[in-house]
Structure 1
Amino acid sequence: MGRGHQGFNHNTQCTVRHCRFSSSQTTSSASSAASSASSATSASSDSSNQSLPPEWDEDSLPSLTDFTELPHKDFGKNQLLETNEEFKRSLRGILRQFPPITYAFAYGSGVFPQSDATASRITHSPHPNPPEAILKWQKGGGKMIDFVFATKFTQHFHSLNLRAHKDHYSFLGSLGSGLVSHVQDAYGAGAYFNPYITVNGIMIKYAVVNFDTLHRDLSTWDTLYLAGRLQKPVKILFEEPNIRVANQRNLLSAVRCSLLLLPPAFTEKQLYSTITGLSYKGDPRMDYGSEHPKKIDNIVTHQIRNFRLLYHDLITSLPNIKYTDQQAISQPDWVDDTNLDLRLEQDMDPERRGNMVRRLPKALREKVYFLYQRKFGIPGREYKEMLEATKDEDAKGGLKKQMGTPFDRRIAGENDLPDMVAQAVNQTVKWPSTVQSLKGLVTAGPARSWRYLQEKREKGKQQQ
């Protein structure tokens, strides 16, 4: 046990053991995912295993207590992207220094490269004394590693973490775990970031989120702040079955939403760029130059293989999208060919697209509905009755996927649907991201916040 676990009671230790059970299952699952996904033929034949069963494609999902209750033994293994074993062990060693964590993942350029930058372009490493595995995975260069920790009891986590790592916090920590947890949960996207923290000789930034906040965003897209991070390649370190299900739905929703934004024919990179760009629409970091203007293109270009592992099975499970070059994906190693940019086509039939509108995450779908209510001039009472009828359908919990209503099909036939969906996504992202960025001045402190902004700007200039 690391220092952060001192003083934990018996129930806390049980929670830690549960996390380790989940992470060990992740290890074996990741190996299976890597071997199965690298063959297009096997991926295609198993694509139905990655789809939610009909009775689960509702606005409310069943609550699971164990991974054995998943709809299929291979369900969601597309999420378990592989990394070097020593690198993964180093990341998990960091997590052991913290209080109990229910779900955790590492993300960003410190985990998966987003550019061709090498050590020669980095003047110094931020890691004071990193393990050899970190240096090898980052090719000798130094990049801070980003984490998200989900916990079921926010204030309890911060209470224990303040006891063990008070230096991780700004002045806010001196005011107690109650205020820290309130600031985390009540403002922005529900995340509390501590940047520039050294653990086991490695410089990290970590965000603490409440389990329910993460689950809700994955399921409904109320902010897209956390869901958007998991729509891109990440390294999952601790697992939880309900989050795996919710994230699978999140990934499927990302494909559906992107299809509504795309023309009838497009390429793989266009699809993955659209998915990656969802959570950046309206993000103030993109507007004010604290992110590289070609960040989305860099992520997709350098992570095309991982995007395929993450999304290929989901793409082939949908009835309204197909690869136009079936011969290319029949080759055994096509997933590893980073020079390929395969073409795809989607069915633009209003009925099929109406079904996709109906199956958008609830918070986003309601924003799209509201935009069209204003466009069509639907009276408030009629609109409210329509929404109530939709809620009644959601509550039935039927054994078939939700089908598009006449209103959904009307929306799907409108030429401005891509613009309306993009506007709804922008509305979803902008305010929580803006507040979350401003919250950093308090949670990280002005000095660390300014340092982080300056380094992001400098990194962007180096990649131009």
Structure 2
Amino acid sequence: MIVWLRRPLLLPQRQLYRLYSTQPSPESSFQSLPPEWEDELPALSDFTQLPHKDFGKNQLIETNEEFKRALRRILRQFPAITYAFAYGSGVFPQSDGSTSRVTHSPHPNPPEAILNWQKGGGKMIDFIIATRFSQHFHSLNLSRHRDHYSFLGSFGSAVVSHVQDAYGAGAYFNPYVTVDGTMIKYAVVSFDTLHRDLSNWDTLYLAGRLHKPVKILFEEPNIRVANQRNLLSAVRCALLLLPPTFTEKELYSTVTGLSYQGDPRMDYGSENPKKIDNIVTHQIRNFRILYHDLIRSLPNISYVDQQTIRRPDWMDDTKMDLKLCQDMGAQPRGNMVRRLPKSFREKVYFLYQRKFGIPGREFQEMLEASKDEDAKGGLKKPVGGDFDRRIAGEKDLPEMVAKAVNQTVKWPSTVQSIKGILTAGPIRGWQYLQEKRAKGKEKQS
């Protein structure tokens, strides 16, 4: 049962500081991470109930105002939107525009702001739209935009919403749709599915898209909090995969690559094999905006060159690739294992259950004890237990974490890709697949 609170419950400041081995860095660009934020689980009714007035503003990546307005005009054609963002290479470039091979725009008659932002070449713009009630959304949307749907639309909103929620990652895609003179692809997801994936990493299909810079166009306070946890979880997971020292680009490439592990599009040549490197290289400043405060909030990771990050303009230096280091001790790494999203953490636990040969009943008792610790006082336990520390001391931890990522991503992504043929229709689905494969081959040549 969800209890709606007027204000978040706050522990005394000194008591909270004792729960953590460090405080948020005074060099942080804004104090958006008060020490109690990650352990609070209120259901918020408005943005005034956020842990801090600037909480989560790192998620609000800037574009120019005209482009943002053009994207919002597109979304106003759709009903019942709770949360929405635009993402992908049509929004944030993944290559040098001066060397682009695009010779024509897919947009029939786009606003000038979109042409200017995409520098004339033009790419289809991708959206994720979250709604409280999927069937209600599709009922209204079918009456307005029946041509957006494949033959499935003929069966009505109940069938469409069932296909959306019951198979794959819970998304329903309509590609190659023209709205306001602009070619777009949009996915409809339920609010609960989005919130759950951000919080638990059930599939990483939606959470993984938000690991990268996106343009948030419609906001919701509970999603902002859940996504802040999602971003911090991405950093923790990446740290478990990385060596003691690494660079910014290695960190952001590891974060970006999480949702591509096990994705059939990568395995079968439907994605550019250099996609991850392109995303990070051309969006390094936005990655810094997205993750810098989160990095500074963790006690076990630091920049090697502290002087550089004190410069007010350091984020704008896109040629620079700063080094970072992390504490590889069993205790801090055990804490990170303990703080992984619930569904994903249990996959890591199960892998080590098999490795250690722990009997099923003993293992279930351990998991139940862990759940009890989560529920105490409404707070998560801030430190890892004996099992977490044992896992953290294993040399194969990076391989096991990578395997858990693969298990999380592979099946939902595979089913979602197959489902896309139905939701897009055979012709548009095949067209989309062929275009993806052609782009992948072009980048390899």
Identify whether the pair has TM-score above 0.5, normalized to the shorter chain: yes
Number of residues paired by the alignment? 421
Please say if residues 230 and 247 of structure 1, whose CA atoms lie closer than 8 Å, have aligned partners that are also in contact: yes
Pick the aligned partner of 1:321 from 301, 312, 329.
Answer: 301
Contact 2:34 2:52 in 1 (8 A): no
**What TM-score do the two structures reach when normalised by structure 1?**
0.88
2:258 to 251, 264, 278: 278
Partner of 1:308: 288
1:373 counterpart = 2:315: no
Alignment partner of 1:57 is 2:39? yes
What residue ranges of structure 2 are gaps of 5+ in the alignment?
1-23
Share of identical aligned residues, percent? 80
1:118/1:463 Cα in 2 relative to 1: closer, same or farther (>3 Å)?
A: farther
Gaps of 5+ in 1: 1-41
In structure 2, the residue matched to 1:440 is 420
| Secondary structure of 2:249 counterpart | helix
Question: Aligned runs of 1:35-74 on 2, under 5 Å?
Answer: 45-46=27-28, 49-51=31-33, 53-54=35-36, 56-57=38-39, 61-74=41-54
Cα deviation code 1:215-238 (max 9, x no counterpart): 000000000000000000000000
Hey, which of these two has a bigger chunk of helix by percent?
1
| Residues 1:391 and 1:401: Cα distance change in structure 2 (over 3 Å) | closer
Residue 220 of structure 1 pairs with residue 200 of structure 2: yes
Structure 1 contact 55–399 (Cα < 8 Å) conserved: no
SS at 2:186 equivalent: strand
What are the superposed Cα offsets for residues 381-431 of structure 1, whole Å, 9 maximum, x if unpaired? 110110110011111135575310100000000000000000001000000
Letter in 2 for 1:456: K
Which segment drifts farther, 388-397 or 42-51?
42-51
Residue 54 of structure 1 contacts residue 401 of structure 1 at CA under 8 Å; is this kept in 2? no
1:358 counterpart = 2:373: no
Q: Distance in 2 between matches of 1:431 and 1:284?
A: 9
Q: 1:354/1:145 Cα in 2 relative to 1: closer, same or farther (>3 Å)?
A: same
| Match 2:235 to one of 252, 255, 271 | 255
Q: Which amino acid aligns with 1:283?
A: D
In structure 2, the partner of 1:105 is: 85
Please tell me whether residue 140 in structure 1 is matched to residue 133 in structure 2: no
Q: Which moved more, 1:49-58 or 1:452-461?
A: 49-58
Q: Counterparts of 2:168 and 2:273 in 1: how far apart (Å)? A: 24
Q: Give 1:50 deviation, angstroms.
A: 3.3
Q: Does the aligned pair in 1 maintain the 2:107–2:181 contact within 8 Å?
A: yes
Question: What's the offset of the Cα at 1:117?
Answer: 4.4
What is the CA distance between 1:122 and its match in structure 2?
A: 1.3
Distance of 1:268 and 1:397 partners within structure 2: 37
Question: TM-score, with normalisation over the residues of structure 2?
Answer: 0.92
Q: Distance in 2 between matches of 1:191 and 1:367?
A: 23
SS in 2 for 1:50: coil
> Is the Cα contact below 8 Å between 1:48 and 1:317 reproduced in 2?
no
Q: Match of 1:80?
A: 60
Does the Cα contact within 8 Å between 1:119 and 1:142 map onto a contact in 2?
A: no
Check whether the contact 1:115–1:463 (CA below 8 A) recurs between aligned residues.
Answer: no
Is residue 168–residue 411 contact of structure 2 (8 Å, CA) maintained in 1? yes
Is the Cα–Cα contact under 8 Å of residues 155 and 178 in structure 1 kept in the other structure? yes
Deviates more, 1:448-457 or 1:235-244: 448-457
